[in-house]
Amino acid sequence: METGLVGAIDEASETEEQDRFLIINKAALKRPGVILRLLSIVVCFVGSILAVFLPMVTIEYASYSSSTTFTDARAVRFPAELISGWNNLFGGDYFGYYLKSKYGAEVLCTVKANFNWVLFLFLIIAILFAVLAFLVTFSKRMEKLSKLVILGYILCGIACVCSPIWFMAVNNFGNTQAIATTDLGHYYLFDSLYVHDAFGAVVSCLVLIGAGIVFAVGTAKENAGGDNRNAEQ
């Protein structure tokens, strides 16, 4: 009878421990799994900072299809334009690209970049996932969300590598005006426009995915042979 009561008290204590939110102690900070998970947060912030500062978008011209009407000579004369991460994200600075009218005029126009709310949203989400990673690391009851953190990091990495898409969308250029050349309001062609990732997009993507991998490894170490953090505590 007495033994049974002690066992029930121990179980209750363990359940209470599992339900507690955000338990940070020195012992936990020494576990490799926890260290890796915290490292993933740092890596996530590094990836986000790189996305803000590194060149994310490249504008070039290339004759890559049979429908190209842009002259090769002009395409060669235009050096690859690297849009900085800052301008890609917050806008405010200018960038240039060619427009080709239906009559053949190839004009180099200059426009001011708009605020890239799509990428901004993804970077905010990345930071939120970093916060979630911290909470998951020190909260037993949030352990189930660890896979969501991994997914979130990778998703934000993919969002970074998709920067050219967001950039063209928020700045309203690309193929949107190439469809109805008979309409004077939509008669510019973009057929040779080649907007692709700058190295910053690839780097920030890899770093964010790296954060996901680091967090996944940390999670695997934490859960090796079952979640043993209570045992160590």
One character per residue 17-56, x = contact with another protein (rule: CB under 8 A) = --------------------------------xx--xxx-
Could you tell me how far CA 29 lies from the centroid of its own chain? 27
DSSP state of 185: G
- List, edge to edge, every strand of the sheet that includes 81-83: 81-83, 57-61, 193-197
The two three-digit tokens of residue 93, written as one number: 């600075």
196 lines the binding site for another protein (CB under 8 A): no
Q: Which of residues 154-193 bind another protein (CB under 8 A)?
A: 182-185
107 lines the binding site for another protein (CB under 8 A): yes
Minimum CB distance to another protein smaller for 5 or for 73: 73
Residue count (the chain):
233
Q: What are residue 108's DSSP bridge partners?
A: 98
208 lines the binding site for another protein (CB under 8 A): no
85 lines the binding site for another protein (CB under 8 A): yes
At 225, phi and psi to the nearest 5?
A: 70, 30
Q: Which among 11-19, 100-108, 125-133, 220-228 is the span making contact with another protein, rule CB under 8 A?
A: 100-108
Residue 197, H or E segment: strand 193-197
Minimum CB distance to another protein smaller for 68 or for 71: 71
Give which of 7, 28, 12, 3 is closest to 230, Cα–Cα.
28
Residue labelled with tokens 């991994």: 150
108 lines the binding site for another protein (CB under 8 A): yes
131 lines the binding site for another protein (CB under 8 A): no
Q: Under the rule (CB under 8 A), what is the footprint of another protein?
A: 49-50, 53-55, 74, 77-79, 81-87, 93-96, 99, 101, 103-112, 182-185, 198-200
